[in-house]
Amino acid sequence: MPNADGTFNSAFFEVAGNANCLPPMTEWAQALKKQRMDHDSKDNPDVWCLPIGLMQYHNHPQPSQIVQTKNLMLITYESNYGLRYVYMDGRPAPNNDPQPWWFGYSRGWWEGNDTLVVETTHFNSEERASWHDVNGTPWSDQLKMTERFRRPTFGSLQIDVTIDDPKVFAKPFTVRVYRNLLVDSEMIEFICNENEQSTDHIPRPGEPGLKAVPPPAAPPAAPPAK
């Protein structure tokens, strides 16, 4: 069910909390999401130690941190060592077809005294990158995300995210995420590739199915008795 203002509470597995809360999706987007779920979400970039989508970062149980300077904000995520640059110097969005970014190209400004608005475009729309959630809701090269950060109380952060992507959804929609302040806490390193062994048992992106974990190798045979 939507909130009173029409937003939906987002979730890690479904960007709108429930697949039934999404606007109608295009045929292409529906087919891609179904394929991803049929393959047990094995191509989620998180599986391959790649940056995950912004909504996966927002909903991830691991913490995040915002570092503010005059003309630049950094949003760091403990999960997969995510790092976003939010430019606060009034620059326009690039119009020269720049290299798309895994985190998109983010520009921010203040509305009033309490709301940070961040508009992000120019996302990497490759299939290996474009996952809003664990279930594989995709995005396209036309995605624009507008985030509104505000603190309704000292200890909570409310993030309203409007997703506008005409190649995927029939209309824009807005989801809401709540984060809690962690007092006297620090983030730790997250080095995904350190001792990573699981992908040896998973087919490469685009290959169907999941391989079974191979049984342990048989011990060498004892030498024949003399």
pLDDT digits (tens, 9 = 90+) for 132-174: 999 999 999 999 999 999 999 999 999 999 999 999 999 999 9
Confidence of residue 224 (pLDDT cuts 50, 70, 90): low
State the pTM of this model.
Answer: 0.85
Across the beta sheet with 72-77, the strand order is: 8-9, 173-180, 156-164, 144-153, 115-121, 105-111, 82-87, 72-77, 64-68
CA pair distance 74, 42, nearest whole angstrom: 30
Q: Is the pLDDT score of 219 beyond 80?
A: no
**Gap between the Cα atoms of 2 and 200, Å rounded:** 41
Residue 121 DSSP SS3: strand
Q: How far apart are CA 107 and CA 137, in angstroms?
A: 24
113-125 burial code (b ≥16 CB/10 A, e <16): eeebebbbbbbbb
Helices marked H in 67-117 — which ranges? none
Q: Burial of 2 by CB count in 10 Å (0-12 exposed, 13-18 middle, 19+ buried)?
A: middle
Mean pLDDT for the stretch of residues 8-12 = 86
SS3 of 27-71: HHHHHHHHHHHHCCCCCCCCCCCCCCCHHHHHHCCCCEEEEECCC
- Which amino acid, residue 194? E
Residue 216 confidence (pLDDT): 44
